[in-house]
A = this chain, B = another copy of it.
Amino acid sequence: MKSLLFKHRSIRKFKSTPIPEEVLADILAAAVRASTCGNMQLYSLIVTRDAALREQLSPCHFNQPMVREAPCVVTICADIHRFTMWCEQREADPAYDNFAWFLNAATDALLAAQNLAIEAEMHGLGLCYLGTTIYTAGEICRVLDLPKGVVPLTTIVLGYPDESPELTDRLPLDAVVHYEKYADYTAAEIDELWAEREESELTKQLLKENGLPNLAQIFTQRRYVRKDNLAISASYLELLKEKGFFNQ
């Protein structure tokens, strides 16, 4: 029998039922059991249940209704601030205010996030990751009072599901797994790996709705546009500098 991991779907509609305290405590406790660099736990999990605060976070996530509707919004942050304070209080010279430690902290944070997500699903909860977090990270810092040394990476909205969507398709496993070394793709292989998705009814419907000749152009012209990608890159790098991850 396949494990629970094979049943994950993003949930975007939630019941208003709150998450019991003991369930939330268990989920958070599972998060911190994930592997962490040198056992430094370079992350913070900001658990926002207050409706007024979720309302303030909502525009940061392009007003997707789930931020208001899910009973719990968890903002996953890289955090070198706490460990740095500890070091400074012990006359130790921390030196985590640089890009390597942004990477270490982001790794810690995202592994903990996925533990949180899986434990939540074990408790019958549903969730959705919000990629919008990096688009508006500076504003999220202001809403959540994130100090220097702390930046948001992603957000999980959490609650009891009020929908039961189909499993999303994936590329064939061969698309993402390489044995021994990276085997670069031929043009024909790329065509083959995407063939099933491109021929699907869903794709046909999307092409019709968008008036575009293929699925790739829906990504590049509608979903993730060059201008936005460059603006997000610039603003997130600026934030990393402001928050002290580039003090080299």
Chain A: residues with CB nearer than 8 A to chain B? 2-3, 5-6, 8, 10, 25-26, 28-30, 32-35, 37-41, 43-50, 53, 77, 79, 82, 85-87, 89-96, 98-101, 103-104, 106-107, 110-111, 113-115, 117-119, 122, 128-129, 131, 134, 143-147, 150, 153-154, 168-171, 173, 175-185, 187, 190-191, 193-194, 213-217, 219-221, 223-226, 229-230, 232-234, 236-237, 248
Contacts and interface: CB of A to CB of B under 8 A. Distances in A.
B48 A180 contact: yes
Contacts of A230: 95, 98, 100, 248
A69 B10 CA distance: 38
Contacts of A6: 29-30, 33
A90 B8 contact: no
Nearest to A53: B180
B219 A41 contact: no
Q: Which 3 pairs from chain A and chain B are nearest by CB?
A: A90-B216, A95-B226, A114-B114
A175 B50 CA distance: 20
B134 A100 contact: yes
A178 B47 contact: yes
Nearest to A95: B226
A113 B176 CA distance: 12
Nearest to A246: B233
A32 to B, nearest CB: 5
Given A110-B111, A145-B181, 11 more contacts: A6-B29, A8-B33, A38-B223, A47-B178, A82-B193, A89-B190, A100-B134, A106-B110, A111-B113, A145-B183, A145-B184
A17 to B, nearest CB: 19
